[in-house]
Structures are given as structure tokens and as C-alpha cells.
Amino acid sequence: MIERPSGAAAGGQLIAEGVVCRYDGATQGQAALDGFDLTVQAGEFVTVLGPSGSGKTTALRVLAGFERVQAGSVSIAGRLVADARHHVPPEQRQVGLVFQDYALFPHLTVEDNVGFGLRDLETSERRTRLAPIVELTGLRGFERRYAHELSGGQQQRVALARSLATRPVALLLDEPFSNLDRHLRSSLRREVREIVKSTGTTAMLVTHDREEALAIADRVAVMARGRIVQIATPESIYSHPATPEVAQMVGPADTMPGMIRGQLVATEAGAFRFRAPAGAVADGQRVQAVFRAHELEFGPFAEGPDMRVAYREYRGEFTQYGIRLPSGSIVRVRRRSLAPVEVGTRVTITAPFDRPVLVFPA
Amino acid sequence: MALPFARIGRAPRVSRPRPPFPLVAAGLLVGAAVLIPVAYLLFRAFGAADSTLDMLFRARSAAIIARSLLLVVIVTAGSVTIAVPVAFLATRTDLPWRRFWAVAIALPLVTPSYVAAMVAVAALGPRGMLQGLLDRVVGIDRLPAIYGLPGAALVLVLLCYPYVYIMVRASLRRMDPALEEAARGLGYGQMEALRRVVLPLLRPAIAAGALLVALYTLSDFGAVSLLGYETFTWAIYLQYETTFDRTAASALSLVLVVAAVSILMLESFTQARGRYYRSTAGTVRPHGVARLGRWRWVAFGLVGALFAIAVVAPLSVLAYWALRGGVQPGLSFPVAAAWNSVRVAALAAAVTSVTAFPVAVLAVRFGGRLTTLLDRASHIGFALPGIVIALALVFFGVNFVTPVYQTLALLVFAYVVLFLPAASGAIKASLMQLNPHVEEAARALGRSEWRVAAQVTIPMVMPGVLAGAAMVFLLTMKELPATLILAPLGFKTLATSVWSAASEAFFARAALPSVMLVAVAGVPAAYLLLRDAPRESNRSSQR
């Protein structure tokens, strides 16, 4: 079964092409994966970002071999592992898995958990293989402990060490930080990235946390309705989202219809300077305008459309306001927490010169 | 004034609420009452220390100990061997009729051991049905003896494997599927992952089931008495019945208690340091279903054969004899015995549930040394065979409370001591699932303690109380030795009718009450089994 699928990108370590995956019994309706394409280069760290139900966990389970595909193909390290007719079982795919709930073997010590995948090696060789990975993941001194004797962060390190010890051709991480508290989450994800990078492992992480997705990845793939909508570097996906949906996924933003009028886009909230990241728009064209909450400002001016402060949420470093438009819809605006503006105040929304509103062809 | 269960709220970590006085008083009363039989047993044995020691060191005692332990080992090993693969097939594979087997395989739990033994003798005995059949067909006029160890072991294995099966099935269903997936991801095949991950994780469930089987076997009276295999219980009964020798019976009882307690302790030694728990809270993802391929129908055949041997065959034999008995003149329907059985079982269920309630509430909601001690004490019936408790109560009744001797009260009291752990266990389980925040929410919404208890706590705990009562009803219906020894003169139940008829080999006369017993006991059993019957997802694929 070692054949190179046609059209595989050279050097792609994880390649999914046109994958369709439907759970049994769900014959009608949406497939969990519906034309899923993804290529992860060797040594690359890719995150798949999507809301729940977008199919991101299914994508990971398809790559790992726990779900079968009905169409399309999956190849790992140049080897076709799944298509409509073939299915290489998980144990023969050489991919490492890190679960949200760690899935440590509770009947084994840390050392035995980490060495679980190295059963073919002799004890001495096993030790030498384990020592650096235990060191790297900061588990020195915990080798004899059991999983329930460790903190959540340590348990996740064990899970990571366990999957890296076998030197997998790719590492798949399923929301690995979601059971950890906020503070630990950001420090551990930095550490995980460093560990993964230092071992040169190809990695794919799925998450619904945009901050996590942007912070840890070389490239971010945004997923919706069973397929990848856009894949790009974090900076590029943020500044050049392909669709309003992607824009909303990577940062807090609201959309509303608008029309191009010369240099401006006219919307219910007023006319704004704009930028079209997904391709040029013509004068008079109908568009979707995306307002990013922290790229807007407002002032207490009583002119133009009737817009008022509907609510105010103090968040410390900034304050988030909800501005109600004449139609009743709400636009969120984040401001530095200076002088608070009272609820009910009539305001005007503006976009600063260097941060134009994003527009997409409607 | 404080109401027992209204003060409920899981004990906060900082300071534990003091349990209300009426609750503590009730708990202490229950604790003291259930300790009576053991205390009396010790008192007697030490009161006649010389003859006790003398009795214990007789060669006959050693033989009894050896026979009992041999039976325990064989039955436990046999039950585990049967139950673990069957549990696996019924929960994790695409075995045909999976949902049917999930319940059907556990059915022998309903059968009392003396009924099963009676069936075994009637079917496989020297002049039994199988021999008759073989004689006519191939002219065999002798079968290997069913009496003694082979018969007792066979009957008890077929009765006991469901204990292990139920434990293992529950554990398999609770297990986090990610653990197996992790092993697969690390290069282990399906069978290997089973051996290296699933089986070790099943160890506590297997141990717990094996413990139940061992204790059941050790305390079984019905099967060994009808099959003439002299273990502790049968020896104690003979001693009591033939010589009314209290000291000898007490001494043997004491050894039996020591054996039971040793088994209990053995189980806690097998607990490894690793912990067995599901690492995620919340919903369990359904497990993948292993495809058996062409082995599917082989597995079906094996499980079906077990069902045929353990359930269908005994029922057929019973039905045959019941029908034969039905046409014989002079064999009337055992109406009085049936009515006595139901009456005393209902009484025992009610009294035991009420008794168990304070114990359960104290144990779940108010930790503390006294509470723990009380909880342990209430488990005495779990470790003490029925015959031991019955004998202790006979002697105690004769000597100290003559008015209750030979009354239903003493019999019901014996049932309470024996079955208290079953009832309190069920109530405890439902109390533990009740989030104290729910009660606190009701308080915050302006309900008084009393009304919270009446409108929130009791309705939510009721399923547990009912389950416990059903369990006690079932166990009381089946109970034999305590009933035999403590029932007032002339008070016949279905259990004693079956036993006395079967011990004289009047199978036709034993069959009718047996059928009724199984039928009546089947009602609470069905309730219990269906209550936690698996709600399988329709999904049949790997998920």
C-alpha cells in the first residue's frame, strides 16, 4: 500500500484530499467532513480552528485512523493510508495523539506511560530513549508517579512525552489545553510549541480557541461545515481573511451589509474607509462589511444615524461597548478604559485612518 | 428543629456540619442492632473457649475448611473465566442480539441456589432425566456422580458468573475510549490494546465481582446441602439440627466468619497503587464496536450455549416437573407458602429500607469517624453468611428475648441484618448523584428545610430507595438458611417448601413452588436489570 497519491504536494507530511466522512446512521444531512483538503508540510505546526460542529475533531480522527473515509484520500509521510477502499488501522500509521483529557493509562507510572509505545525495545535502550524526552518535557523526578498524583499541566506533559517518545511521523493534538486554567494554558502552549519544534515533529492541533490557534501555529486553517475555508500564517489570516466568516473566527467582529460609494463603504452605521482583502470591489457593488471590535472608535456626537450605547462591559485593560444601530443590531466596540460612556448616550462610530473596515463581495 | 435529610449539603471541606441528633440516634440504634449477632457469637465462642479450641482442631474441621476453600476457588475462577469474555462480547463487539444478551445473560441471578441444585439433581442425577434419555437412546445406565464437588461447583458457577459479568460490563461501559485510542495511536493492535490496557483496567471490576462470588459461595447453603457437599454452612446446620450443639456450631461459625473476613481483606490487598478512574468528567463518548467478522456467529453460538445451559435448560426442567406435578393428585398449589413468602419479603424490604436511610444519609452527607464506623458495621450482613446470623439469633432469642423467639419479628430482624448493605448501597448511590447545589437552589428559592426534603430530596432519592427495596425483596424471597432456622413453627415459605421437598427428592412437589419463586422474584429482578440496562446508541460504527 506504499504508493504516492497523485497530486500530492512534495514534502507534504500530512495530506488530506477531498475527504468525505459521514458517520453511520447520518445518511441524510451534512457529512462531518465534506471535501476536506489539508496539507501539512514536514516539521510544520498547523492549527485547525473551527467552532464546535465544524468537523475539526473528525478531521483529526480521520488522520489518526479512528474514522473511515467515504471519499477522498489521506496520506501520511508519502504513504496512502486511507481512501474509500483502503484503511490502514491507527496502530500502523505512526502518528502521535494528544487528547483533551490526556488519556493517561491510570494503571501505569509516568515512566511506563511514556515508554508505552516503545515496547519492542530492550530495557536499557528504552531507558536511553526515554531519558531525553522525560528531560525535555520537564518530567524528571516524576517517573515513578501515577497519573492521578500529577497536576493537570503535568499530566498533559506526560501525554505529550508519551506520543513523542515513539518519534511519530506526525503529532495530532485534540484541544490539548482546554482542561487547563487560563494562566497555565498560555505558558504550556508556548512550551509545547518549543518541544515540538525542537524535535522537528510535524504537528496538527485542533482547537476552538482563536488565541491559542494564532499563538502556537506556523499556519492556521479555519474550518467550517466540514471543510477548510482558508489556511495561512497567523498574521496573514488575520489581516487578509478570505471571508467574513474567517474574519469573525480569528477576532471579535460584527458584519453588516453595505455598498461601495467611491472611496467609502456606506452602511447603516455610516460611511467608512475600507480595505478588500479578498479581491477588488467596484463602485456601487453590494458588500459585506466586517467591523472589528478593537479597530473601531466612537465619540459622543449627535449627528448621522441614531446610534446609542446599549451596554457596557468593563474588562480591565479595555471596555467593550455594544452600540445599537437604527435597525436594532449591535456593533461591538472595544475602547481603552478611560472615561466611561453611559448607556443610552448617542454616539457616532468611526474607523481610524490606518484601520479601514474590511469588505467582502456580497 | 432539624430534620434528618433536610440539613443535607455535601460536607464542605473546611468544617463538617454536625449531623442532627435524631439522625445520629437512629444511626447508632441501627449500628448497635446489627452488631448483636456477631457480639453474641463472640461471647459464646469465648465463653466456652476450651471446647471451642478443641472443636477447631479436630481433623473434621480441617476437612471442612479445605472443602469450602476448594469450592470457593473453583467457583470464583470458573465465574471469572465465563463472565469476562461474555461481558466483552456483549458490550464491545457486533455480536448479534447484543441488547438482548446484555440483560438475558444476567438472569441466573434470580435463581435461588437450592432451586438450581434441585434442577441439577433432577436432570443430571443418578436416575435423572439425562440418564433416562441416554438409557433409552444409547443404553447408558450410569452417569458420573452429580453429588459432591462437581455438582456443587457446576451449579454455583452457573449461578455466580452474573456477579462478575455485571461488574465487568459496567466497567467496560464507563471506561474512557480515549485510553484504547491512545494505545492504538502508539502502535498497538486491537487485541494488544485489549490485553495491555483494557484488561488491566478491568482488574478492580473483576476483583469486586470475584469477591461477591467468593462470599456467595462461602455462605451458600442451598446448593451444598442438596448436593451433599459438606462445607461450613452444611456442617453448621447438621451440627445444629442433629445435636443442637451450640458450642460446636458457634465455633464453626466463627471460622466461617474468619474465612469471609479474610476474603474481604484479600480483595483490598489486590488493589494496586495506580488509580482506576475515568479521566474526564461529563459525558462518555460511545465506544467503538469491534467487528468480529466471521467469528460473529461463533461468538453468538457460545453466548447462546451459555444462555441455554444457565437459563433455558433449568427453566425447561422446572416446567417439565411442574407439569408432571400438576397432573398428580394430592399436589395442590402452594398458596399459603407463596403468600408467606411475599408477605415476609415485603415486610423485610420496607423495614430494611427505613433502617438503611439514616445510615446512608449519614455516610454520604456527614463524614466523620463515627459515621464511617457505622457504615462499616452496617456491612456486616455482607460478610456474614445467613446461617451464622440465624444461629446467633436463635441462641440470642432463646436466652435473652424469649418472647420474640419463634416470631416473624426475629426473622425479619435477621433479614434486616443480612440485607442492610444492599438497601443502603442503593440509597447511597442515588444520594451521591444528587448534587447538593440542587437542594441549596431550592432553599435559596424560599423553600423551608422540610419542603426541600419533601419536594426535592425525597423525590430524587426515591429511585434509589425503590431499587434497594426491590433488591431486599428479591434476596429475602431467595433466602433459605435463616428462614429455615428462624421461621416460626408451621410458617412455610416457597423457599423452605422447595428445599424440604427437594431434599427428599420429591421433584414434582418441589417444582411448583420453584416456578412460583422464580416468577415472583423475577418481578423485582426485571425492575433492577431494566433500570440499568444499557441505552446503546444506534450507531454501530467505530466512533
Residues A199 and A303 in one domain: no
Q: What angle do CA B522, B332, B481 make, to 5 degrees?
A: 50
Same domain flag for A273 and A345: yes
Residue A309 belongs to a domain? yes
| A104 is a domain residue | no
pLDDT score of B286: 67
Q: What is the pLDDT of residue B68?
A: 94
Q: Domain range holding A288?
A: 252-361
CATH number for the domain harbouring residue A291: 2.40.50.140
pLDDT number for residue B2? 36
The confidence score (pLDDT) of residue B264 equals 77
Predicted confidence band of residue A227 (pLDDT cuts 50, 70, 90) = very high
CA A322 centroid distance within chain: 26
As a whole number, the mean pLDDT across chain B is 82
> How many distinct structural domains can be found in chain A?
2
The pLDDT of residue B278 is above 80? no
Chain A residues with CB inside 8 Å of B275's CB? 106, 146-148
- Residue of B201, B276, B540 with shortest CB distance to A24: B540
Smallest Cα distance from B435 to chain A, Å: 22
Domain with A87 in it: what CATH number? 3.40.50.300
* pLDDT at residue B6 in the model: 36
The verdict on A76 and A176 lying in the same domain is yes
User: CB distance B182–A103 less than 8 Å?
Assistant: yes
Single-letter amino acid, residue A134: V
Vertex A302, ends A299 and A304: CA angle to 5°?
A: 95
Three-state DSSP class for residue A39: strand
Domain end, chosen from A210, A239, A268, is at A239
pLDDT of residue B38: 83
pTM of the model: 0.78
> What percentage of chain A has pLDDT greater than the value 90?
69
In the predicted structure, residue B352 carries a pLDDT above the cut 90 = yes
Nearest-CA distance B200 → chain A (Å):
7
Cα(B66)–Cα(B231) distance, rounded to whole angstroms? Answer: 9
Between B431 and A357, name the one with better pLDDT.
Answer: A357
Average pLDDT over residues B248-272: 76
User: Pairing relation of β-strands A45-49 and A219-224?
Assistant: parallel
Report CA-CA distances (Å) from B358 to A192, B22, B379: 51, 9, 14
Q: How far apart are CA A80 and CA A15, in angstroms?
A: 9
Q: Are B10 and B365 spatial neighbours (Cβ–Cβ below 8 Å)?
A: yes
Average pLDDT over residues B435-453: 76
Q: State the pLDDT at residue B220.
A: 93
- CB-based contact A163 B179, cutoff 8 Å: no
Query: Which pLDDT belongs to residue B508?
Result: 82
pLDDT tops 90 at residue A301:
no
Using CA atoms, how far apart are residues B118 and A157, in angstroms rounded to an integer?
A: 60
Verify that A67 and A177 share a domain, yes or no: yes
Residues of chain A with C-beta less than 8 angstroms from the C-beta of B183: 105, 116
- pLDDT score at B103: 83
pLDDT score recorded for residue B225: 93
Same structural domain, A201 and A293: no
Q: Output the DSSP codes for A47-73.
A: EEE--TTSSHHHHHHHHHTSS--SEEE
| Of B351 and B527, more confident | B351
Contacts of B273 in chain A (CB under 8 A): 146
Is the pLDDT at A69 greater than 90? The verdict is yes
In a domain, residue A116? The reply is no
**Quick one: pLDDT at residue A174?**
93
Residue A264 contacts residue A273 (beta carbons within 8 Å): yes
Mean pLDDT of chain A: 90
Of A206, A239, A272, which residue constitutes the final position of a domain?
A: A239
Considering the domain architecture, whether residues A66 and A185 belong to the same structural domain is answered as yes
pLDDT tens sequence across B468-481: 999 999 999 999 99
Could you report the per-residue pLDDT of B18-59, keeping only the tens digit for each?
777 888 889 899 988 888 888 888 887 777 767 767 777 777
- Asked if A199 and A336 sit in the same domain, the reply is no
User: In this structure, are A211 and A345 located in the same domain?
Assistant: no
Q: Do B542 and A102 touch (CB under 8 A)?
A: no
| Chain B residues inside the 8 Å CB shell of A162 | 182, 186
Question: How much is the ipTM here?
Answer: 0.75
Percent of chain B with pLDDT over 90: 31
Which of A112, A199, A111, A188 lies closest to A154, judged by CA?
A188
- Per the CB < 8 A criterion, the answer to whether A359 and A288 are in contact is yes
Confidence label for B327 from pLDDT (cuts 50, 70 and 90)? low
Residue A73 within any structural domain of the chain:
yes
CB B236 within 8 A of CB B249: yes
Answer whether B203 sits within 8 Å of A94, measured CB to CB.
Answer: no
Closest to B482 (Cα-Cα) out of B471, B472, B501, B495:
B495
Q: Which among A23, A90, A108 is the nearest to B185, CB-wise?
A: A90
Residue B478, all three cell numbers:
431467595
Q: B532: pLDDT confidence band, cut at 50, 70 and 90?
A: low
Is there a single domain that holds both residue A226 and residue A265? Answer: no
pLDDT of B14? 38
In a domain, A83, yes or no: yes
| Closest-CA residue of chain A to B193 | A91
Residue of A30 and B105 predicted with greater confidence: B105
Select the more confidently predicted residue: A246 or B56.
Answer: A246
- Residue B158 above 80 pLDDT? yes
pLDDT at A320 over 50: yes
Give the distance from residue B431's alpha carbon to the nearest chain A alpha carbon, in angstroms.
25
Higher pLDDT, B261 or B155: B155
- Whether the pLDDT of residue B405 is over 90: the answer is no
SS3 of A331, please? strand
State how far residue A204 is from chain B, nearest Cα, in angstroms: 15
Q: What distances in angstroms separate CA A35 from CA A71, A227, B39, B300, one per listed residue?
A: 8, 6, 74, 39
Annotate A293-326 with DSSP letters as a single string. Answer: GGG-EEE----SS-EEEEEEEE-SSEEEEEEEPT
pLDDT value of position B433: 78
Res. B92 pLDDT band, cuts 50 70 90: confident
The 3-class SS string of A225-250 reads CCEEEEEECHHHHHHCCCCHHHHHHH
What local confidence, expressed as pLDDT, does residue B283 receive? 47
Does residue A222 share a domain with residue A313? no
For residue B438, name the pLDDT band (cuts at 50, 70, 90).
Answer: confident
Q: Are B423 and B468 in contact (CB under 8 A)?
A: yes
Mean pLDDT of the region B277-293: 61
Residue B421 belongs to what H/E stretch? helix B408-433
A320 and A351 inside one domain: yes
Measured in angstroms, the CA of B94 and the nearest CA of chain A are apart by 14
Task: Decide if A247 is inside a domain.
Answer: no
Residue B539 pLDDT greater than 50, yes or no: no
Give, in order, the Cα–Cα distances in Å from B173 to each of A158, A293, B84, B88, B285: 25, 46, 13, 10, 10
Highest mean predicted confidence (pLDDT) among A275-279, A304-308, B39-43, B160-164: B160-164
Question: Using CB atoms, which residue from A89, A146, A162 is nearest to B275?
Answer: A146
> In terms of domains, do A269 and A294 share one?
yes
Q: Is the pLDDT at B7 greater than 50, yes or no?
A: no
Q: Is A74 helix (H, G, I), strand (E, B) or coil?
A: strand
pLDDT at residue B379 tops 50:
yes
Q: Which three cell numbers stand for residue A343?
A: 448607556
- Residue after which a domain boundary falls, among A199, A214, A239: A239
Q: Does residue A3 lie within any of the structural domains? A: no
Residue A129 lies in a domain: no
pLDDT-derived band at B538 (thresholds 50, 70, 90) equals very low
> Which residue, among B192, B197, B279, B289, would best test binding to A if mutated, counting the most A CBs under 10 Å from its CB?
B279
The reported pLDDT for the residue numbered B270 is: 61
